[in-house]
Chain A
Amino acid sequence: MSSHLNLGVIRRILGLLLAVFSLSMLAPVAVSLYYRDGQAELFIEAFLIILVVGMLMWFPARKRHGELRLRDGFLVVALFWCVIGLAGAVPFALADDPKMTVSQAVFESVSGFTTTGATVLTGLDALPRSILYYRQQIQGLGGIGIVVLAVALLPLLGIGGMQMLKAETPGPMKDAKLTPRITGTAKALWGVYLVITLAGVLAYWLAGMSLFDAVSHSFTAVSTGGYSTHDESIGYFGSTAVELVTIVLMVLGGASFSLHFLAWRYRHVGDYWRDEEFRAYVAILLSTTLITTIVLMLTGAYADPAEAVRSALFHAVSVQTSTGFTTENFALWPGVLPTLLIFTSFVGGCAGSTGGGMKVIRWLLVTKQGSREVSRLIHPSAEVVVKLGGRPIDSRVIEAVWGFFAIYLIVFTLLMLALMGTGVDQITAFAAIATCMNNLGPGLGEVATNFQSMNPAGEWLCTLAMLLGRLEIFPLLVLVSPGFWRG
């Protein structure tokens, strides 16, 4: 069996990808013409540049039609996000309003595609409409990409134990070859994604948003991205209805899209409650809300319990699903709350969702494994099998989950130290890396509302953190391991 990387096929795919992606520049052109904000030329330029680069990559490799194998999968996943991240930066780099450095442009673009939602921009309300639309669109596209990545690719590649999900994916998932598997899943899930997004647009519009805002925020709520067209994020609207719609969309975005597909296909709403991960996901959300409400009330930050619950629920959901919308600056909340919330972003959304973090299912497994270790101390000879949803989990999967957990934390620590090395203080560094790696968005300290004050080296580190988190570390780690490039 040849283990050479199929570089030709990979080049062809990436070239095609860029060419297709260039078309997404046309929608902002339309928006620009509609609002007459003078940015149409900018996006046409970007369209042409990306199209040409894509063609140049695709053309020499256009006849290469081999099959992609496992090893290629890692490279494709890693390159896909890096290449798209760079391509998406082109309009930002070319733009005059806002004026951005290259590192800022890449940061903003990658923050979009990884649906992180951390922004280097301020004064959003005054920016050209097409630029604002473009940011929202990036997150919408990123969300779709992530769903396919999370439901089809990562389980197949066996990232961090995700192969345990293989048996559960819908559609033509029994196919072992990579390409049909991806396209089959993609088609199944894009339908679901589109339906939820459209429902979101409608709901926002009925709740009182303008059509522009409704489309914009639906894009970034379902993708759990968190970009907004306003500096004050969802707080701008000051509307309970808007907040409720947002909460629903975020919860949906942070749940498994396989589950959504199954529920939709077979009309079984009960499927949600039967899923162990979903139950844990909801339980954690509610616990965080409860603790937050109690602390808010006890410290006197809120006098009215209803208001406390409203804000606690919104932010608990927003942070854990790694969306990052805010109705107020939670970094200013009393004492333990900001840190507690940032900690919950490490839990993240469900596997197969657009959410970030380590994913609920891994935490579930780690907890079960942990309690098994404790009982093993007392009953060393007992054979205890770890089960999920009633099915036993293979020890290989368990080891992979452990490995993921440990490496995630170590990478976090190293990035945080590196960021401190560029001169950033401890709290900001901790929050910046956490929020980027978990694809959350807002942080604490200097990065509580935006990353404008981040130094250039720091911006690159945070961009790296975003990619590592979104790709679940290993695809990038594999690329730098010597064994990968050898035969």
Chain B
Amino acid sequence: MSFAAIQRILGLLLMVFSLTMLPPVGVSYLYRDGSHGAFLTAFLVLLAIGTLVWYPARRDRRDLRLRDAFMVVALFWVVLGTAGALPLVISPKPVVSVTDAIFESISGLTTTGATVLTGLEQLPRSILYYRQQMQWLGGMGIVILAVALLPMLGVGGMSLYKAETPGPVKDSKLTPRVTQTAQMLWVVYLTITVACAGGYFLAGMDWFDAIGHAFSTVSIGGFSHYDASLGHYDNPAIEAVAILFMLIGATNFALHFTAWRSGRFGAYFSDPECVAFLKFMATISLITVAYLLIDGDYEDTLELAMDGTFQAISVGTTSGFTTSHYHHWPGALPVLLIFASFVGGCAGSTAGGMKVIRALLLMKQGRREVFRLVHPNAMMPIRIGGRAVPARVVDAVWGFFAVYVGSFAVLLLLLMVAGLDQVSAFSAIAATLNNLGPGLGEVAQNYASLNAFEKWVCVLAMLLGRLEIFTLLILLTATYWQK
């Protein structure tokens, strides 16, 4: 365990992160909202802490080993997530407890989008901007993590499959791999964000809203400047832009890179996961619209179709934007959509959930088991895109699924021990574990009514989901700390 290397990286991360406090200062001066003090203070504090952490270890140039990578990944989200709470605590508006600030900050960095704040429209502009920026940074972080690191760590079966798909990095050493990925993908990420902001602006948002919502759309985060989320605008053009960029955000960024590099759109349609993802989104949208047609109370069919599709894709990709109060929809629909969020987006995207590729593998494995009952002697490897998937990967995906469901059950029970009712607990854990955002019952609009313990359980769920469970869980095992 090379603590020095980890310390150096952590210090660097904090120092870089402190710089992200500066744009909000600019926004604060621009709108004269009085919160510039909070961000300047946060900047200085984080810079100082970062430097103090980095300085003693600055000469350690060793490459990170596999084991260290788990620690770094966990620390990135936990430490930066906590550090990000600082401006919220210091700022005079909003008035939040430390628990609330950390909840909001981690919800931002993990691109969950669950909020404890109400009356968003009255908050200082810099604070609103800061929240959106957190999600955008978190989205960038998860893309790098998912494309470069997780395949190397082999978490939940993502190893051998992802290592073979076309992507930006061929380097097998950890640090160069991560830095190369970052260099390649940030351009893609930035371009998409700019395009999204442009789209929103053309559809009718002012430029502040356009940028803010572009931040949280491309990162599949779901934070908004308004309590009513995108429903505030009641504008189908905006919803259409959102749908397009949610789909883009939930697609593998390595795929975006490849398609862009080679100029071929066909790359998307030859990727089995992407195709499965699009089919799944189409199916969910269709079911939603059909259910609403039969059982909902919309007057305008076009509005129904738009709302239904938007909500289905928003929840299915784990973004979490809302246009109508979907938790008031008929019967099984909200629960169905929440279950859909367990599948989530593609691996290598900013989306949450278990990821489409795992759902695909699980489906094929399930079908194979049924087939094997009737033909016990048949040899049937699992294939994706024509290539056989190794048994080790298949095992790992099963394991991931079991641990994911198990974690969900335990966290749900914990919330209920704290006194939350079953429907709220179920949706709260589902919405945080899958990094979705809004739930049902008490957590339909926001998480403000939860007590401190319940909020911490939700924070844990957000981190577990973002880090694909194992990355965090492994730190608790004895094996990890042995020589």
Closest chain B CB from A394 CB (angstroms): 12
Q: Which residues of A contact B262 (CB under 8 A)?
A: none
Q: Which residues of B contact A343 (CB under 8 A)?
A: 409, 413
Q: Which residues of B contact A478 (CB under 8 A)?
A: 370, 373-374
A49 within 8 A of B: no
Complex interface residues of chain B between 313 and 370 (CB less than 8 A to chain A): 331-332, 335-336, 339, 362, 365-366, 368-370
B396 within 8 A of A: yes
Cβ–Cβ contact A406 & B373, under 8 A: no
Q: Per a CB cutoff under 8 Å, which of A157, A377, A406 touches B401?
A: A406
Cβ–Cβ contact A421 & B332, under 8 A: yes
- Kindly supply a per-residue 1/0 record for chain A positions 390-411, scoring 1 wherever the CB is within 8 Å of any chain B CB and 0 otherwise: 0000011011101111110110
Q: How far is the CA of A369 from the CA of B339 in the complex (A)?
A: 25
- Kindly supply a per-residue 1/0 record for chain A positions 457-484, scoring 1 wherever the CB is within 8 Å of any chain B CB and 0 otherwise: 0000000000000000010011001011
Q: Per a CB cutoff under 8 Å, which of A380, A398, A483 touches B395?
A: A398
How many chain B residues touch A (CB < 8 A): the figure is 51
Cβ–Cβ contact A335 & B417, under 8 A: yes
Cβ–Cβ contact B413 & A339, under 8 A: yes
Cβ–Cβ contact A406 & B398, under 8 A: yes
Closest chain B CB from A350 CB (angstroms): 20
Complex interface residues of chain A between 55 and 98 (CB less than 8 A to chain B): 70-71, 74
Q: How far is the CA of A478 from the CA of B413 in the complex (A)?
A: 34
Cβ–Cβ contact B332 & A417, under 8 A: yes
Provided the pairs A159-B373, A420-B331, A423-B331 are in contact, do residues A403 and B416 lie with their beta carbons within 8 angstroms? no
Cβ–Cβ contact B370 & A477, under 8 A: yes
A4 within 8 A of B: no
Cβ–Cβ contact B155 & A377, under 8 A: yes
Provided the pairs A377-B155, A417-B339 are in contact, do residues A405 and B373 lie with their beta carbons within 8 angstroms? no
A374 within 8 A of B: yes
Q: Which residues of A contact B395 (CB under 8 A)?
A: 369, 373, 398-399, 402
Q: Per a CB cutoff under 8 Å, which of B370, B399, B423, B480 touches A427?
A: B423
Q: How far is the CA of A374 from the CA of B480 in the complex (A)?
A: 9
B470 within 8 A of A: yes
Q: How far is the CA of A378 from the CA of B476 in the complex (A)?
A: 12
Q: How far is the CA of A413 from the CA of B341 in the complex (A)?
A: 13
A30 within 8 A of B: no
26 pairs, CB–CB < 8 Å, chain A vs chain B: A74-B374, A158-B372, A295-B417, A336-B413, A339-B422, A370-B399, A373-B400, A373-B403, A374-B399, A375-B477, A399-B398, A402-B401, A404-B369, A405-B398, A406-B366, A417-B332, A418-B332, A420-B335, A421-B332, A426-B335, A426-B426, A427-B422, A427-B423, A430-B422, A481-B374, A484-B374
Q: How far is the CA of A419 from the CA of B403 in the complex (A)?
A: 27
B44 within 8 A of A: no
Q: Which residues of B contact A379 (CB under 8 A)?
A: 479
List the A residue with the shortest CB-CB distance to B295.
A421
Cβ–Cβ contact B332 & A157, under 8 A: no
Provided the pairs A483-B374, A483-B375 are in contact, do residues A399 and B394 lie with their beta carbons within 8 angstroms? yes
Known: A74-B373, A374-B474, A474-B369. 12 other contacts (CB 8 A): A340-B416, A374-B399, A378-B67, A380-B154, A399-B394, A402-B398, A406-B366, A406-B398, A418-B332, A420-B331, A426-B335, A481-B374
Q: Which residues of B contact A481 (CB under 8 A)?
A: 370-371, 374
Cβ–Cβ contact A395 & B399, under 8 A: no
B52 within 8 A of A: no
A376 within 8 A of B: yes
- Kindly supply a per-residue 1/0 record for chain A positions 157-172, scoring 1 wherever the CB is within 8 Å of any chain B CB and 0 otherwise: 1110000000000000
Q: Which residues of A contact B365 (CB under 8 A)?
A: 399, 402-403, 406
Closest chain A CB from B291 CB (angstroms): 8
Cβ–Cβ contact B370 & A376, under 8 A: no
Q: How far is the CA of A409 from the CA of B365 in the complex (A)?
A: 14
Say whether chain A's binding surface is mostly helix, strand, loop, or mixed: helix
Q: How far is the CA of A477 from the CA of B412 in the complex (A)?
A: 30
Shortest Cβ-Cβ A-B pairs, 10 listed: A403-B369, A373-B399, A420-B332, A336-B416, A402-B398, A336-B417, A421-B332, A417-B332, A375-B479, A481-B370
Q: Which residues of B contact A100 (CB under 8 A)?
A: none
Provided the pairs A339-B422, A420-B331 are in contact, do residues A377 and B398 lie with their beta carbons within 8 angstroms? no
Closest chain B CB from A3 CB (angstroms): 9
A52 within 8 A of B: no
Provided the pairs A369-B398, A427-B422 are in contact, do residues A407 and B366 lie with their beta carbons within 8 angstroms? yes
List the A residue with the shortest CB-CB distance to B371.
A483
Q: Which residues of A contact B (CB under 8 A)?
A: 70-71, 74, 157-159, 295, 335-336, 339-340, 343, 366, 369-370, 372-380, 395-396, 398-400, 402-407, 409-410, 413, 416-418, 420-421, 423, 426-427, 430, 474, 477-478, 481, 483-484
B473 within 8 A of A: yes
Q: Which residues of B contact A417 (CB under 8 A)?
A: 332, 335-336, 339
Closest chain B CB from A71 CB (angstroms): 6
Say whether chain B's binding surface is mostly helix, strand, loop, or mixed: helix
List the B residue with the shortest CB-CB distance to A426.
B423
Q: How far is the CA of A377 from the CA of B480 in the complex (A)?
A: 9
Q: How far is the CA of A423 from the CA of B333 in the complex (A)?
A: 11
Q: How far is the CA of A430 from the CA of B395 in the complex (A)?
A: 29
Closest chain B CB from A438 CB (angstroms): 14
Closest chain A CB from B266 CB (angstroms): 31
Complex interface residues of chain B between 446 and 483 (CB less than 8 A to chain A): 470, 473-474, 477, 479-480
Q: How far is the CA of A366 from the CA of B403 in the complex (A)?
A: 10
Q: How far is the CA of A444 from the CA of B342 in the complex (A)?
A: 25
Q: Which residues of B contact A370 (CB under 8 A)?
A: 399, 402-403, 406
Q: Which residues of B contact A (CB under 8 A)?
A: 66-67, 70, 153-155, 331-332, 335-336, 339, 362, 365-366, 368-376, 391-392, 394-396, 398-403, 405-406, 409, 412-413, 416-417, 419, 422-423, 426, 470, 473-474, 477, 479-480
User: Which one of B336, B373, B395 has the highest number of Cβ atoms from chain A below 10 Å of its Cβ?
Assistant: B373
Q: Which residues of B contact A420 (CB under 8 A)?
A: 331-332, 335
Q: How far is the CA of A343 from the CA of B412 in the complex (A)?
A: 11
Q: Which residues of B contact A400 (CB under 8 A)?
A: 369, 372
Q: Which residues of A contact B422 (CB under 8 A)?
A: 339, 426-427, 430
List the B residue with the shortest CB-CB distance to A421.
B332
Cβ–Cβ contact A377 & B153, under 8 A: yes
Q: How far is the CA of A399 from the CA of B155 in the complex (A)?
A: 19
Q: How far is the CA of A158 from the CA of B413 in the complex (A)?
A: 34
Q: How far is the CA of A377 from the CA of B332 in the complex (A)?
A: 38
Cβ–Cβ contact A340 & B413, under 8 A: yes
Cβ–Cβ contact B474 & A376, under 8 A: no
Closest chain A CB from B205 CB (angstroms): 36
Closest chain B CB from A455 CB (angstroms): 12
Q: How far is the CA of A295 from the CA of B391 in the complex (A)?
A: 43
Q: Which residues of B contact A71 (CB under 8 A)?
A: 374
Q: Which residues of A contact B368 (CB under 8 A)?
A: 403
Cβ–Cβ contact A374 & B470, under 8 A: yes
Q: Which residues of B contact A366 (CB under 8 A)?
A: 402
Q: How far is the CA of A231 from the CA of B93 in the complex (A)?
A: 59
Cβ–Cβ contact B402 & A405, under 8 A: yes
Closest chain B CB from A25 CB (angstroms): 35
Closest chain B CB from A451 CB (angstroms): 19
Q: How far is the CA of A378 from the CA of B423 in the complex (A)?
A: 37
Q: Which residues of B contact A395 (CB under 8 A)?
A: 391
Q: Which residues of B contact A407 (CB under 8 A)?
A: 366, 369
List the A residue with the shortest CB-CB distance to B440.
A426
Q: Per a CB cutoff under 8 Å, which of B335, B392, B394, B477 touches A374?
A: B477
Q: How far is the CA of A410 from the CA of B366 in the complex (A)?
A: 10
List the B residue with the shortest CB-CB distance to A159.
B373
Q: How far is the CA of A409 from the CA of B354 in the complex (A)?
A: 15
Q: Which residues of B contact A483 (CB under 8 A)?
A: 371, 374-375
Q: Which residues of B contact A418 (CB under 8 A)?
A: 332
Q: Which residues of B contact A426 (CB under 8 A)?
A: 335, 422-423, 426
Q: How far is the CA of A402 from the CA of B391 in the complex (A)?
A: 13
Q: How far is the CA of A398 from the CA of B369 in the complex (A)?
A: 11
Q: How far is the CA of A70 from the CA of B394 in the complex (A)?
A: 27
Q: Which residues of A contact B413 (CB under 8 A)?
A: 336, 339-340, 343
List the A residue with the shortest CB-CB distance to B477.
A374
